[in-house]
Amino acid sequence: MSNTITTPKGIAKYPYVNEPNTRFNPMGEYTCQLVIPEETALKFKEQLDKIYEDEYKRECLLKNKKLKKAPNFPLAQDEDGDWVLRSKQPAKVESKAGKVYEFSVKIFDAQGKLCDAKVGSGSSVKLAIEPRAWFTPALGFGITLNLKAVQVIELVEYGGGGGASSFGFAAEEGYVGEELKEVLTTDTAAEATDDAFDF
């Protein structure tokens, strides 16, 4: 199965599409959760359900038995009642022969042109995903949505350092100071130095 499909438009949540997240996987992983309006999500889930069921039947035929199904599905309601689609893509994969393959996520603007936008939470985006079926005896049969590309409809840029809006501040009438470039404090400078070396 290697068919890439496009998701409906939604709001990006915790996107790691510019740089991979290495917190839980040292090889890195690109991820993006997409919050989709309920009506649109249910319609899109029908499309994913069909792919899932077709692949499930195929895998059962290959294994010549009925397989148990993994409990998690990549498009479901969260604890807040929002419909959230979860996608991911390994940044690096090492083959059994020891060769390392690197992957990235392409980013396009609203006009379909490649760009280098820093995509942050709250951005309105569409995702290009590749459903990939899998089976393990412990978990059962499941499906993962591999993240291939992102189209940015409305950008909320990830700044990395936390601007005024990230602290809940909006523009007000009053004092206007000179623009100050963010500098390393003593503590953050020490952290940066520590990060530069392996002790």
111 occurs within a structural domain: yes
99 occurs within a structural domain: yes
Closest CA to 150 of 182, 119, 189: 119
Read off the pLDDT of residues 54-106 as tens digits, 9 standing for 90 and up: 999 999 999 999 999 999 999 999 999 999 999 999 999 988 888 999 999 99
C-alpha–C-alpha distance, residues 166 and 169, integer Å: 7
Q: Please give the tally of structural domains in the chain.
A: 1
Read off the pLDDT of residues 6-61 as tens digits, 9 standing for 90 and up: 999 999 999 999 999 999 889 999 999 999 999 999 999 999 999 999 999 999 99
179 occurs within a structural domain: no
Give 148's pLDDT tier (boundaries 50, 70, 90).
very high
**Does residue 195 have a pLDDT over 60?**
no
Mean pLDDT of 129-134: 96
174 occurs within a structural domain: no
128 occurs within a structural domain: yes
100 occurs within a structural domain: yes
192 occurs within a structural domain: no
Q: What is the pTM of this model?
A: 0.77
Beta bridge partners of 152: 125
C-alpha–C-alpha distance, residues 70 and 54, integer Å: 15
177 occurs within a structural domain: no
The CATH number assigned to the domain holding 52 equals: 2.40.50.140
Residue 166: what pLDDT?
A: 52
Q: What are the Cα distances from residue 78, in Å, to 50, 85, 86?
A: 22, 10, 11
Range of the domain at 100: 5-161
